């Protein structure tokens, strides 16, 4: 297994996380309609991915545990986006 | 003799601290499981998943309420301070970054302590901002138009807030007595708290 260059990985991940948070805030500020929650949910999935892969160091340890950790936020954010869209049409 | 030399070196306080810090470091590559037995690692992930399942139940309750009572949920969300919550997201991400930096293989004991203290301070800032947010939201919480939304809101965010507060205390304790297995344990839990907030923020404030 190649050595993990932690410093670069976590610093890059942090910069990307802050950029994604800014995108989410911008999306929330400019609109609160159904599609916005979908954009924010997608951004949140990307943020969760960086936290799991880089901060929790799962990028080089792919397996059932990593897949489950990645699936947990995707499941709830997907449900959240679906509920938001359905509730918006009621 | 090498054995005697090692014992003499190990007697120095600085050397003891350095050796405690470098437990679990192999050839400059730090892995999350190093310095722990498989049993410790298993217990850690059981703890992590018990947290994720507990918060998952709260998220399921929130989503069910939002699906069954969309008007009440929309009304309640109008009175939530999403700006403060967004600030708290940045605070927690920065804190998580500092916690991850504490595990850098070449970091000195003082640098590791500094990272952990910054991470703990981030957690305390999160708690302060959240309490301030609660103060602004408390007035509307009893409004019948919001239904049971605020019960779920305070339960979910309060449970998370307790985790952040407790995690900040743990980070401070580990910063005072840093050892590689303890840093791994507390930073893993800290990142899970971070992960939970990343999911909770859009579900509660923007759903």
The CATH code of the domain that includes B106 is: 1.20.120.80
∠ CA B62-B50-B45, nearest 5°, is 135
Under an 8 A CB cutoff, do B93 and A18 touch?
Answer: yes
Using the Cβ of B185 and the Cβ atoms of chain A, whether some distance falls under 8 Å is answered with: no
> Which ipTM was obtained for this model?
0.86
Q: Looking at the 3D structure of chain B, how many domains does it have? A: 1
Q: Using the structure block, give the residue that is written with the tokens 């985790």.
A: B163
Using the Cβ of A64 and the Cβ atoms of chain B, whether some distance falls under 8 Å is answered with: no
Contacting residues of B for A55, CB less than 8 Å apart: 96-97, 99-100, 191, 194
Tell me which residues of chain B, numbers 72 to 111, contact chain A at a CB-CB cutoff of 8 Å. Answer: 73-74, 82, 86, 89-90, 93-94, 96-97, 99-101, 103-105
d(CA A87, CA B75): 13
- Terminal Cα distance for chain B, rounded: 67
Domains of chain A, residue spans: 6-88
pLDDT of residue B161: 97
B75-132 pLDDT, tens digit each:
898 888 888 888 999 999 999 999 999 988 878 889 999 999 999 999 999 999 999 9
Residue B144's CB: how many other CB atoms inside 10 A? Answer: 6
Under an 8 A CB cutoff, do B97 and A55 touch?
Answer: yes
pLDDT of residue B130: 95
pLDDT of residue B106: 79
pLDDT of residue A5: 55
Residue B145's CB: how many other CB atoms inside 10 A? Answer: 11
Of B166, B197, B5, the C-alpha closest to B174 is B166
Give residue B138's domain range: 2-206
Which token pair is B100? 């991850």
> Residue B5 pLDDT > 70, yes or no?
no
Identify the three-state secondary structure at position A19: helix
Radius of gyration of chain A (CA): 15
pLDDT band of A73, cuts 50, 70, 90: very high
Contacts of A7 (CB under 8 A, 6+ apart): B101, B104
Q: Using the structure block, give the residue that is written with the tokens 């951004």.
A: A43
């Amino acid at each position: 297994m190649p050595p993990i260059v932690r410093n670069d990985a976590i610093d890059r991940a942090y910069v990307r996380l802050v950029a994604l948070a800014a995108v989410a805030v911008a999306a929330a500020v400019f609109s609160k309609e159904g599609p916005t929650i979908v954009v924010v949910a997608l951004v949140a999935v990307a943020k969760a991915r960086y936290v799991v892969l880089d901060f929790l160091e799962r990028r080089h340890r792919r397996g059932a545990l990593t897949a489950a950790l990645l699936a947990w936020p995707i499941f709830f954010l997907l449900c959240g986006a679906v509920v938001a869209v359905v509730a918006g049409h009621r | 003799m090498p054995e005697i030399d090692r014992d003499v070196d190990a007697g120095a306080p600085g050397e003891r601290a350095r050796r405690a810090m470098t437990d679990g470091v192999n050839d400059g590559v730090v892995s999350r499981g190093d310095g722990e037995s498989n049993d410790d690692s298993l217990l850690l992930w059981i703890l992590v998943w018990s947290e994720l399942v507990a918060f998952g139940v709260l998220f399921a309750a929130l989503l069910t309420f939002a699906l069954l009572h969309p008007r009440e949920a929309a009304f309640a969300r109008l009175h939530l301070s999403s700006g403060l919550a967004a600030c708290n997201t940045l605070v927690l991400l920065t804190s998580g970054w500092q916690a991850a930096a504490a595990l850098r293989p070449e970091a000195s004991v003082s640098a590791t302590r500094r990272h952990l203290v910054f991470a703990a301070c981030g957690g305390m800032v999160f708690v302060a901002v959240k309490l301030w947010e609660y103060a602004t939201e408390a007035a509307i919480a009893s409004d019948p138009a919001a239904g049971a939304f605020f019960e779920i809101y305070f339960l979910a965010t309060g449970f998370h807030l307790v985790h952040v507060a407790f995690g900040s205390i743990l980070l401070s304790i580990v910063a005072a007595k840093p050892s590689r297995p303890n840093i791994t344990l507390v930073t893993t839990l800290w990142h899970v708290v971070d992960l939970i907030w990343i999911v909770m923020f859009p579900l509660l404030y923007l759903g």
